[in-house]
Amino acid sequence: MKYGISLVTGLNRYLTSWKSPSDPSTGQYTNKLDPNGLPQYFLSKGSVDQFRSGPWNGLRFSGMINLKPNPIYTFEFVFSQEEIYYKYQIANSSVLSRMVLSPDGVLQRFTWIDRTQDWNLYLTANMDNCDRFALCGAHGVCNINNSPACDCLTEFEPKSLEDWTTADWTQGCVRKVPLDCSNGEGFIKYTGIKVPDTRKSWYSKTMNLEECEVVCLKNCSCTAYANLDVRDGGSGCVLWFGDLIDIRQYNENGQDIYIRMAASVIDKRGKSRGKKQVRIIVIPISLLAFFLLALCLFLRFLRKNRTQQLTGEEHNLNLLGHAWMLHKEGRPLDLIDESIVDTCIISEVLRSIEVALLCVQKSPEDRPKMSNVVLMLSSDIVLPQPKEPGFFTERDLSNDSSSTIKHETSSVNELTSTLLEAR
């Protein structure tokens, strides 16, 4: 059996309850696929949502951790451009099994037991009070092992403390420190959870988790991200926008999610944990560029005569200007010392040079953010072609009286840079 939506014909197969155990007319409850955002199933009473399955994560639905491989039936979730549906098939034709949405709104699976001549309850989708949709409100998290079950996510607090103390959690939680989309914002990792409602989400099947973080940081409305598929270390990307609703904590089989936090929160947590917390490091990108280029040039100059000047055919250029000239002439490998040419990974060296040149572009809009730099260096995404650097200068060697010459060059963004020329 399969039930879900055909995106071609619009046909939607879903479950409805009976009015009562003895009355098969249509009851109040339905269990239906919602294709908005990342698809998920909703068990509803009329128009009011009662239970959410969560999205498919490659192994199971995020909110149905008891859905596991078993000897009774096999199952899969098909998610294509033509249709989206959940499918199950009985593994042994001699076994009778049925899935039922009961008149009181409980999604169950039964198997027939010959010995007792009765239907045995095998599985229940909505198990406990924490499966009630949005029980703890926005940014609240439900843990059935706690009393009370509802709490706020880390770095959040009850919107109404008075209501919260009377077990009215509907208003949920708010951030202790609001987001302002400034530099230095980052993410806190939450583990073992049922991911939030995905109706206001965006997803990609091809992006990895690092790319997912970069895309989320670029969008001020993005509040969280996670892997789309948790198998084999994780793949794909899901982004959430707005409030995070219907989260619960599991002891096992939960997922990881990264929730956006203000810069001050990230900084505080980093310091309190001895800077072991993963965080966004904000440093002038130009310094990173100079470090990468200086390293390449230093290795090259080691094989040259220590008193040789960058003159004649190599022009009167500073280090960055010389690197730009070699890149433009298609000779970036000249920056590599001969002693390591055979042992280094050429593609990685060339990529580092291109990234470094992008970091010192004349226009700030052309320079990548620090998070983008990390992504560029750690993946195979296509890089934009660098333009002439903003720190490109030529110098007059006629007055040089020392083998080590210190220059101070003012860049277009008014950053003063000190360059040490190699001997």
The predicted-structure confidence for 340-353, as pLDDT tens digits, reads as follows 766 666 667 777 88
Query: What is the structure's pLDDT at 316?
Result: 59
DSSP 229: B
User: Helix, strand or coil for residue 183?
Assistant: coil
Average pLDDT over residues 370-396: 67
Which residues, including other chains, have CB under 8 Å from residue 94's CB and lie 6 or more apart?
Answer: none
Cβ atoms of 207 and 237 within 8 Å: the answer is: yes
What domain range is 323 assigned to? 285-420
278 domain residue, yes or no: no
Residues 151 and 256 in one domain: yes
User: Helix, strand or coil for residue 25?
Assistant: strand
pLDDT at 17 over 50: yes
Average pLDDT over residues 344-371: 78
Query: What is the structure's pLDDT at 334?
Result: 76
- Domain termination residue (choose one: 94, 127, 160): 127
277 domain residue, yes or no: no
The reported pTM is 0.64
- Domain termination residue (choose one: 240, 272, 304): 272
Highest-confidence segment of 239-253, 319-333, 336-350: 239-253
Residues 114 and 139 in one domain: no
Predicted confidence band at 366 (pLDDT cuts at 50, 70, 90)?
confident
280 domain residue, yes or no: no
Q: What percent of the chain has pLDDT over 70?
A: 76
- Domain termination residue (choose one: 94, 112, 127): 127
Q: Residue type at 117?
A: Q
Go through 273-302 and write b for each residue having 16 or more CB atoms within 10 A of its CB, e for each that does not: eeeebebbebeebbebbbebbbebbebbbe
Residues 239 and 343 in one domain: no
pLDDT at 119 over 90: yes
Query: What is the structure's pLDDT at 322?
Result: 77
Residues 382 and 289 in one domain: yes
Residues 111 and 186 in one domain: no
Residues 247 and 330 in one domain: no
Q: Tell me the pLDDT of the chain averaged across its residues.
A: 81
Residues 142 and 121 in one domain: no
Residue labelled with tokens 């200007």: 321
Q: Per-residue pLDDT tens for 401-420?
A: 433 333 333 343 433 334 44
Predicted confidence band at 305 (pLDDT cuts at 50, 70, 90)?
very low
Per the structure, the count of domains in the chain is 3
Residues 268 and 301 in one domain: no
89 domain residue, yes or no: yes
Residues 142 and 115 in one domain: no
Q: Per-residue pLDDT tens for 139-191?
A: 999 999 999 999 999 999 999 999 998 999 999 999 999 998 888 899 999 99
User: Helix, strand or coil for residue 130?
Assistant: helix
Residues 258 and 145 in one domain: yes
Residue labelled with tokens 């003012």: 410
391 domain residue, yes or no: yes
279 domain residue, yes or no: no
Average pLDDT over residues 312-329: 68
Average pLDDT over residues 227-251: 95
The residue ranking higher by pLDDT, 172 or 71, is 172
Cβ atoms of 8 and 83 within 8 Å: the answer is: yes
Residues 98 and 171 in one domain: no
Cα separation, 4 vs 337, in Å, equals 61
Q: Which of 47-61, 130-144, 207-221, 366-380 has the lowest mean pLDDT?
A: 366-380
Residues 16 and 64 in one domain: yes
Which residues, including other chains, have CB under 8 Å from residue 223's CB and lie 6 or more apart?
Answer: 179, 240, 241, 242, 243, 244, 259, 260
214 domain residue, yes or no: yes
105 domain residue, yes or no: yes
- Give strand pairing partners of 140: 152
Radius of gyration, CA atoms only, the chain: 29
Q: What percent of the chain has pLDDT over 90?
A: 51
